[in-house]
Structure 1
Amino acid sequence: MSDLLFDDVTVHFGAARAVHGVTLAVPSGTTVGLVGESGSGKSTLARAAVGLSPITSGRVLLDGADVTSTRRRPLQMVFQDPYSALNPRMTIGESIAEPMPREARKGAAARRAAVADLLARVSLDPGRASMLPGQLSGGQRQRVALARALAGRPKVVIADEITSALDVSVQGAILNTIRDLRQELKLTMLFISHNLAVVRYVSDHIAVMYQGAIVECGPTDQIITAPAHPYTQDLLDAARLCRARSGTG
């Protein structure tokens, strides 16, 4: 795994400023949580990293090398919608095997073994490899999408709102899987969510994004216990109110 750095990244869509002058580091082997309300620019920043949104200025660096001009970027992204992320005509095993490096796809037996290992890592029965996405629940599909991202052996995984479309009970299970993978694989991950409580659970550091800019960044405990920016305090208050309404506070 490697260090990811957004270096003064700006993304404009015509006259609209989605991201402006963002500098953010994701150190190797850590999970950085990027939190902000809808429209804050966090998903645009993620899409810029993997080449899905054009960068107006700035760079995305991996171990000091600029990846914004490379055709195949050593990053994998897990998207919010588990229903559209997978090809409905491909089996689970085929979807996971598709991004594997060429050497890992040599030989049917080796390919099946690699797929089975990845399914087990995301807490899915390897026997589901022969199933189609339509036969799985939303939570199971999101686990498959995570396994598919890992199959590409990326240096960094970017998870963009991967629990927001799931039921609360399923969210917890997915977050526990993320925590387990962090420990087992020493993942380097940018974990994006509008929910500060979710980000807190999986992240070593938290960056708060507001109106296209990073307004606060630091170790998770520091951000939670001593927020420096009023917007961060608003997010904390919202998380507390949500817990109180659900009876978990």
Structure 2
Amino acid sequence: MTQTSHTLFDHLLELRTRLLKALLSVLVIFCSMIYFANDIYEYVSKPLLATMPEGGQMIATDVASSFFAPFKLTIVLAVFIAMPYILYQLWSFIAPGLYRKEKRLIAPLMFGSTFLFYSGIAFSYFVVFPLVFSFFTSVAPAGVTIATDISSYLDFVLKLFFAFGIAFEIPIAIILMCWTGFTDPQSLRKKRPYIVVGAFVIGMLLTPPDIISQTLLAIPMLILFEVGVFIAAMQFGDTNDEDIDDADRTD
């Protein structure tokens, strides 16, 4: 009993150490960027400013929003940048309890999830934002001056960053589901029509109410679904759970 309690206490101490290291990495990155907070916000706002008509500008409706909006963006950006190190701390904590075969799979999954999350953010910024903001500014009624509040704009872009970042994790989710035996590539292929409908429904829920951003989220999700199924089929095959168990016994 004493040995078990001591082991659990050691794990809790290690978890606390890993969490503190992760938080410290975010704090260090944040402190190194806070001086450039306004420049960072200006860069993030470029897709909107580029589509505004002549004379259009952003405004700050609250007294403190001109300070808190760049401050909030810098915090979120620090978390994004520190994500590989945060995942490394997570990996270091769980790795001792994994089998060798599991370690070979988890490490690429963590790298792939980070890369896909960054890719989703980049896709939303460089592809989606220019198209969406061009659409919004083009449908403004005559006589309406476009002057977007900086806090509202930040909430909007962060929502899309997270939506596209999470949506781009579909291949990782598929691989994990096939690895755990929850499903298999063959079953996922049979459900393809439902996946298509679901992708557009998710695009409708996670993006602004315009067909452009919904489609720009749904199409990458469908492509990434096919990529995930392809990788899962290469890694695990299209066999059912009983076939996999028999193969493991043979090995």
TM-score range normalised by the length of the shorter chain: under 0.3
Looking at secondary structure, tell me which structure has more helix per residue: 2
Give the alignment's TM-score, normalised by structure 2: 0.24
Looking at secondary structure, tell me which structure has more strand per residue: 1
The structure whose RCO (Cα within 8 Å, separation 6+) is larger is 1
Give the alignment's TM-score, normalised by structure 1: 0.24
